[in-house]
Structures are given as structure tokens and as C-alpha cells.
Amino acid sequence: MNYEFFLAKRIIGSKAYKSSISAPIIKIGIAAIAIGIVVMLVAIATGIGLQQKIRDKVVAFNGHITISSFDSNASQESISPISKKQKFYPKFTAVAGVNHIQAVASKFGVIRTETDFEGAYLKGVGADYNWTYFKEFLVAGKLPDYTKGRNEDVLISQYLANRLGFKVGETFQMVFPKDDPEKLPNIITYNIVGIYNSGFQDLDAQYVLGDIRHIQRINKWKDDQIGNFEVFIDDYDQLSTKSIEIYHNTPSTFNTQAITDKYASVFEWINIFDKNIYGIIGIMILVAGINMITALLVLILERTQMIGVLKALGSNNWSIRKLFLYNASYLILLGLFWGNLIGLSILFAQKYFKLFPLDPSVYYVTEAPVYISMGYIIALNVGTLILCLLMLLIPSYIITKISPVKAIRFE
């Protein structure tokens, strides 16, 4: 039998241990571990959750990768049309990991009412459009259907609807100016069938989703001409690799652009979250480790006589150090238990009850999103346990300096 583990259990279970001088310090050490785990769990869950939520919202409007013609147009408006008659459309089989490709086009226009006006892009989509993301964003009405004949149904953002006083079922006119100012603009009356709110105000303020056939008619394009293709992939982590593969599997006249390049400032901002998370984890583990070192030193000091007796009976230094490390492990595990219980309770409460709102103009989301995965929870707990124990190896070395004779006489 492992006698060090046996002695550690006896010490932990004794009443004297729970009412000893070191008891308050031990409780502080356990509390430090618990608070550290709570902070780390919240930091990781909200950091990753915010990254994924913002990323998904940008992808919803643009896809992971955009395929378009080479031109100098820096705006969102589709200027140079490309044909849908491509080998990679409607199924991009040449590159593994591509799950969907859709044809779209954009046209700038002005929404006009009796008392107000607002500039926006009509994003033209067709029967191949992936509405998965917008099903989640939908707050009123329904999604438009463009699988049949050309129609005037549109999906408008809640941001624009609130600014212009629109509701589901109402109509509005959208004016599309022509390049030649002497020519009359195109005016189309649209029906609002649905209102969406992605929480990403910068994008919500720009886009109205409508039938791509209107843009084809206004621009005098052929039925098979569109503005660009949007590609969706299975694994976001392979975005750079897939972007290069797609580029090499499209005609030389086409350009590909990953979403991270198109919205570089947004993705640079959310990548900073990783550094913040690592910083918080490092600080919390350091604080918890220092508290546990203090608790271990007090335990050693309190049981100096016992150390002397064990040495006199023939125990070596490493055996006695193991005894105290077992004791410290129990305290760390106790702190981990309470930290996980409190931390996961907070995360699940936020996930299902949305307790903590955020300003969408700053964070692009209306509430703090959380990402809960057993993978990072287990890794965080195991990592904290191992790092704290490694930190405790140094103070436990003090046991080797204790003389059995002096320790037995120690009061």
C-alpha cells in the first residue's frame, strides 16, 4: 500500500486538521483555485464564443471565400459581371471541404419614403442561396422565396426598419441611380416579407436582400450573369489553405478573397481575444499557485514534528514530500470542483437566460455569447492541476533541510 497516500488521507480526515491554525490559509488557497477556474472558464467561453459569433455573422453576409472578376472596384457594388456557366458551379467538387457555392450580385440604391431616405445595397440572391444563417437572424415575418418567378419580396434589417419606420407587410420604393446622371433612375417597389437582426450593425445598415433578377435587369445583364460567387467551407481553420486551393481551381480571370482579408480589421480585433485569454489564464494560475505555495509552507511548518518523526523512522525526503504533495493535490482538486461548479453554472445561465447584455455597436452582438466544450474544460483543469503541482515542488524542497532531532524538539 502507498503509505504516503494513506497518511495524507488520515491527515485530511482528522478533526485537528480542520480546526488547525492553517485552516483559514487552506481555505484561502482553495478559494483562490476556485476563483481562478471561474475566471478562466468565463474568459475562454466568452472569448471563443464572441469570436465564433462575430465570425459567423460576417460569413453569413459574404461566405468564407468570394470569387469575382479582376477589377479595380473597391466598393460593395457588382460592376463587372461573370457567367454562372463555370465548371465549379453549382458543385465545387475540385476542392474537398467546400459544402456550398452560391451566385449573388449587389447594387447600390436609395430607399425612399415620404419623409426620409436611406442608402443601402440590394444584395441580389437566387434559388441557390443558403438561408441557414438568416433563419437564426429572423425576428419578424418570413424568409423570401426566389425559387419561382421574379418577385419584389425582400428581407430588410431591423436597423433600417427602425430608422425608416417599416414593418412586415409594408412596401417601399428603392431608387437605383444610373451612371449617366441625365438618364432617369430605376425605381422598384418592394414588399417587406421579413425583418432580420444579425446584431452586426455595420452590415445590417448596408444590406437589403432581394431577387438577383432585378439587378440583372437593371444592369442589362444576361440571365446567366452575376456579380460574384460566395463559397462556404466545412472547416474555418483551413480557410487560408482552401482559399489558395480554390484560387488554383478557378479560371485565371477570376480572383478569390478570403473573408479574413475582406474584413481584416474585424478579424484582427477578434484575434486579440486569444492574447487576452492566454494572459488571464497565466495570471490566474500564477495567483492560485502562489496561494497554494503559501498553504503548503504553512502545512509543513505546522507538521514539523511529524516530519522529524517520519525521518527518524527511516522515511526519505522524497517520501515525505510526496505526502505533502498528496495533501496539496486534495486541496487543488477541491478548489477545481467548486470552481467548475460555479463557473459552469454561470456559463449555462448566460447561454440559456442571456443574463449579461452587450452593446452591439461595440461588440457586434446583443449578449455575451458562450462556447462550452468538454475539450477545453478538461484541458484547463488538468493543466491547472499539473502546473500548480509543479510549482509546489520547489517549496516542498524545504523538507530536505529539516533535521530530525531539531524537528522532534520543535514547538
pLDDT per residue as tens digits for the range 130-163: 999 999 999 999 999 999 989 999 999 999 999 9
CB atoms within 10 A of CB 198: 27
Residue 121 has pLDDT above 80, yes or no: yes
The pLDDT of residue 199? 85
Share of the chain above pLDDT 70, in %: 94
Per-residue pLDDT, averaged over 304-330, amounts to 83
CA–CA dist 163, 120 (Å, integer): 12
pLDDT of 302: 79
Query: What percentage of the chain exceeds 90 in pLDDT?
Result: 61
Average pLDDT over residues 273-294: 90
Taking each helix axis from N to C end, the angle separating 264-302 and 23-62, rounded to the nearest 10 degrees, works out to 170
Query: What are the domain boundaries of the chain?
Result: 3-56+267-409, 71-252
Long-range CB pairs of 109-116, under 8 A, 24+ apart, other chains included? 109/174, 109/175, 109/176, 109/177, 110/174, 110/175, 110/177, 111/160, 111/164, 111/172, 111/173, 111/174, 111/208, 112/172, 112/173, 112/174, 112/175, 113/164, 113/165, 113/172, 116/163, 116/164, 116/165
pLDDT tens figures, 65-77: 999 988 746 668 8
Mean pLDDT of the chain: 89
| Confidence category of residue 406, pLDDT binned at 50, 70, 90 | low
Distance CA 158, CA 166 (A): 9
Rounded distance between C-alpha atoms, residue 173 and residue 284, angstroms: 57
34: confidence class by pLDDT, cuts 50, 70, 90 = very high
For residue range 163-172, list pLDDT tens digits in order. Answer: 999 999 999 9
Question: Is residue 163 within a helix (H) or strand (E), and if so which, with residue range?
Answer: helix 158-164
Q: How long a stretch of residues is the chain?
A: 411
The predicted pLDDT at position 17 comes to 55
Residue 206 has pLDDT above 80, yes or no: yes
pLDDT at 13 over 70: no
Q: Residue 16's pLDDT is what?
A: 53
pLDDT tens for 335-389 read 999 999 999 999 999 999 988 888 877 788 888 899 999 999 999 999 999 999 9
In this prediction, residue 408 has a pLDDT band, given cuts at 50, 70 and 90, of low
